[in-house]
Structure 1
Amino acid sequence: MSTPSAIRKVYQGIAERHQMFRMFDRHAQRPNRFDGDASALYAGEWFEITKREHDYTFEILPPLWIRGSMFAMREFLTGSVTSVFFALRIDGLIRYFHAYCDLSDRGSVEAMRLAIIERETRPVRAMTRDERLEHIWSATADAYRGYSDETSPQYLPGQRVITLFSNAGSAGLKLLDDLTDDEIAAKLPVQLRHLPDTAVAA
Structure 2
Amino acid sequence: MHPVSPIRKIFQDVADRRQMFRMFDRHAQRPNRWDADASALYAGEWFEMSERDHDHMFEILPPFWMRGDMFAMREFLTGSITSIFFALTIDGEARHFHGYCDLSDKPSPGRMRAAIVDRESRPVKAMTRTERLDHIWSATHDNYRGYAGERWPEPSRGKRTIAVYGGNRSTQPKLLDDLTDEEISAKLPVHLRYLPDAIAA
| TM-score normalised over the length of structure 2 | 0.97
Residues 144-153 or 117-126, more deviating: 144-153
- Does 2:186 match 1:198? no
Within 1, Cα distance between the matches of 2:24 and 2:14? 14
Tell me which residue corresponds to 1:171. Answer: 171
Residue 82 of structure 1 aligns to a residue in which SS?
Answer: strand
Within 2, Cα distance between the matches of 1:62 and 1:102? 19
Identity rate of aligned residues, in percent? Answer: 66
C-alpha displacement of 1:154: 7.7
Which residue identity does 2:125 align to in structure 1?
Answer: R
CA contact (8 A) 2:30 2:146 kept: yes
Gaps of 5+ in 2: none
Residue 26 of structure 1 aligns to a residue in which SS?
Answer: coil
Q: Could you list the per-position Cα deviations for residues 24-53 of structure 1 after superposition, in whole angstroms to 9, with x for gaps in the alignment?
A: 001000001011211111000000000000
Where does 1:28-177 land on structure 2 (aligned, <5 Å)? 28-152=28-152, 156-177=156-177
Q: CA RMSD in A?
A: 1.2
Q: 1:36 to 1:153 in 2, by over 3 A?
A: closer
Which residue identity does 1:171 align to in structure 2?
Answer: T
Within 2, Cα distance between the matches of 1:17 and 1:23? 10
Which residue identity does 1:33 align to in structure 2?
Answer: R
Residues 146-155 or 179-188, more deviating: 146-155
Within 2, Cα distance between the matches of 1:141 and 1:177? 17
C-alpha displacement of 1:151: 3.2
CA contact (8 A) 1:153 1:174 kept: no
C-alpha displacement of 1:153: 7.3
Residue 166 of structure 1 aligns to a residue in which SS?
Answer: strand
CA contact (8 A) 1:148 1:156 kept: yes
Q: Could you list the per-position Cα deviations for residues 161-186 of structure 1 after superposition, in whole angstroms to 9, with x for gaps in the alignment?
A: 00001343111110000000000000
May I ask how many residue pairs the two structures share in their alignment?
Answer: 201
CA contact (8 A) 2:43 2:101 kept: yes
Within 1, Cα distance between the matches of 2:199 and 2:122? 12
Tell me which residue corresponds to 1:2. Answer: 2
CA contact (8 A) 1:3 1:41 kept: yes
CA contact (8 A) 1:73 1:82 kept: yes
| TM-score normalised over the length of structure 1 | 0.97
Where does 1:13-24 land on structure 2 (aligned, <5 Å)? 13-24=13-24
Tell me which residue corresponds to 2:185. Answer: 185
